[in-house]
């Protein structure tokens, strides 16, 4: 089950972070987990990727969370954290999920009132996180 989605700009500032409703400490854990996944993300992103694959696969895991990464061609980073104890979510599902996130992101930045580099407010993305929680 999906726990959170985070979007970061190329030069790191977080653009979007949304996690399932939970208490603050868990949210902090998630934030920290996303943050610590970035090391691997950066490494994977910088290592050569001959295939134009945007999906970076699994980044980081501990016994609670597992993170996946996705890098757009404009170097925007998408991270999704899922529950590591739940084996039902397959990589294929995550690919589909990231595709939706990508669409949501594209829609969000198409908003003429959105200024690039500022935090994103997107109902579509929020729904993506919220709907997955069930």
Residues that bind another protein (CB under 8 A): 12-14, 17, 25, 28-29, 31-32, 34-36, 38-40, 42-44, 47, 62-64
Q: Which is nearer to another protein, 54 or 61 (CB)?
A: 61
DSSP assignment letter at 64? S
Q: In the complex, what is the shortest distance from the CB of residue 77 to another protein, in angstroms, rounded to a whole number?
A: 13
The strand pair at 55-61 and 65-71 is best described as antiparallel
Q: Which is nearer to another protein, 64 or 102 (CB)?
A: 64
* Alpha-helical regions (H) of the chain: 24-46, 91-110, 123-132
How far is the C-alpha of 85 from the C-alpha of 115, rounded, in Å? 38
Q: In the complex, what is the shortest distance from the CB of residue 32 to another protein, in angstroms, rounded to a whole number?
A: 6
């Amino acid at each position: 089950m999906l726990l959170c989605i985070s979007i970061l700009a190329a030069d790191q500032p977080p653009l979007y972070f949304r996690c399932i409703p939970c208490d603050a400490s868990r949210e902090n854990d998630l934030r920290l987990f996303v943050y610590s996944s970035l090391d691997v993300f950066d490494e994977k992103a910088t290592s050569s990727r001959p295939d134009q694959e945007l999906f970076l696969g699994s980044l980081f895991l501990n016994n609670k969370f597992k993170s996946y990464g996705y890098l757009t061609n404009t170097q925007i980073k998408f991270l999704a954290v899922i529950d590591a104890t739940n084996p039902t979510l397959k990589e294929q599902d995550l690919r589909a999920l990231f595709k939706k996130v990508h669409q949501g992101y594209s829609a969000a930045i198409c908003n003429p009132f959105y200024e690039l580099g500022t935090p994103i407010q997107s109902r579509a993305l929020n729904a993506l996180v919220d709907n997955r929680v069930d």
